Amino acid sequence: MKIYAVQTGSVRIKRSQVHGRGHGLRRRLRIFTDSQWTAWLPTYAWMIDHPEGIIVVDTGQGRHLLDTARSLHPYLRWEVSFRVEPDEEIGPRLRALGVKPRDVQRVVLTHLHVDHDGGLAHFPDSAILVSRRELQTAGGSIGRLRGYLPNRWPAWFNPIALDLAAESFGPFAASRRLTRAGDVIAVATPGHTADHLSVMVMEDGITYVLAGDTSYTQALMLAGQVDGVSADEATALATLRALKHLAAERPTVYLPTHDPESAERLSTHRVIDATRPDAARSGRATV
Ligand SMILES: [Zn+2]
């Protein structure tokens, strides 16, 4: 088994989205008054070359996102911008790795935000797994009001709704095995969205956390710093703490979608040293 980091362009957002400030609705509205952008951040998807078949986690950004500056949705119009070259979409990226998208058996989405489902069009022949409730949250006109783009899902998009069982995984309450070997597991990591999930991959005694947007960087997770978009701050914080507990229990490589250091941590198998007294203060956000 091997995990590949697949960069699908980059994104920039407001600093107060990465690093939530204040509480409640004010925290979430702050993004709209913040004039400070982050640096350009990578948007990763992941390919797991697994003996039971290739699994892709998230599909990254699509070129169609380049027109969001004209969107009617205020978040998409003003608070985020994207860069995606034609050969940076996940289809060409996988082909460059020697994999045809039709050879991907399954695609698992951590959540349905536009920079995670933006490459869906490349996978008409794959089984696509999405949390059942995330699908409900993102769909229809209510989903569009929430900043999702269900109107840009491919016409054939008919995902398999994933229900995570009440089967704990370490400090997490709900999970579901995705492979017979039990070495790839979807785990409920609510917060950034109410039904956000992460994918845990176990190999050679290391747990790789394909974390989606549980936090924007590892340092922010260790610091228990909730982002600026999570609706339920307490739930988001509980997930960050569970991730930190996981890292204290077992060697863990933490791989958020937008952390500029994720690819290097993956290639060097760099685990979190959660026992270090300064782990919680290990630097500021890198953006
Ligand atoms: Zn997101």
Tell me if 132 sits within 8 A of 112, measured CB to CB: no
Distance 191 CA to ligand 1 centre (A): 10
Task: Tell me what pLDDT residue 282 has.
Answer: 43
H runs (alpha helix) in the chain: 15-18, 24-33, 74-78, 90-96, 132-138, 140-145, 218-222, 233-249, 262-267
Distance 36 CA to ligand 1 centre (A): 19
Distance from the Cα of residue 223 to its chain's centroid:
19
User: How is the beta sheet containing 53-57 ordered, strand by strand?
Assistant: 80-83, 2-13, 41-50, 53-57, 104-108, 127-131, 160-162
Distance 273 CA to ligand 1 centre (A): 26
Of 68, 73, 54, 30, the residue nearest 123 (C-alpha): 54
To which H or E segment does residue 81 belong?
Answer: strand 80-83
Distance 135 CA to ligand 1 centre (A): 14
Distance 116 CA to ligand 1 centre (A): 7
Distance 38 CA to ligand 1 centre (A): 15
Distance 118 CA to ligand 1 centre (A): 12
End-to-end CA distance of the chain: 32
Tokens 């069009």: give the residue. 121
H runs (alpha helix) in 53-175: 74-78, 90-96, 132-138, 140-145
Tokens 């790789």: give the residue. 208
Distance 71 CA to ligand 1 centre (A): 18
pLDDT digit string (tens) for the chain, length 287 residues = 999 999 999 999 999 888 888 888 888 888 888 899 999 999 999 999 999 999 999 999 999 999 988 888 888 988 899 999 999 999 999 999 999 999 999 999 999 999 999 999 999 999 999 999 999 999 999 999 999 999 999 999 999 999 998 899 999 999 999 999 999 999 999 999 999 999 999 999 999 999 999 999 999 999 999 998 898 999 999 999 999 999 999 999 999 999 999 999 999 999 998 666 545 444 333 33
Distance 204 CA to ligand 1 centre (A): 30
Q: Would you call 256 exposed, middle or buried from its count of C-beta atoms within 10 A (0-12, 13-18, 19+)?
A: buried
C-alpha 147/C-alpha 244 separation (Å) is 29
Amino acid at position 87, single letter:
D
Q: Which two tokens stand for residue 49?
A: 């070359």
Distance 213 CA to ligand 1 centre (A): 5
Distance 230 CA to ligand 1 centre (A): 9
Angle among Cα 56, 88, 148 to the nearest 5 degrees reads 65
Task: Tell me what pLDDT residue 274 has.
Answer: 65
Distance 58 CA to ligand 1 centre (A): 11
Distance 193 CA to ligand 1 centre (A): 7
Distance 96 CA to ligand 1 centre (A): 26
H runs (alpha helix) in 231-272: 233-249, 262-267
Phi-psi region of 205 (alpha: psi -120 to 50; beta: other; left: phi over 0): left
Task: Tell me what pLDDT residue 287 has.
Answer: 35
238 phi and psi angles, rounded to 5 deg: -60, -40
Distance 113 CA to ligand 1 centre (A): 5
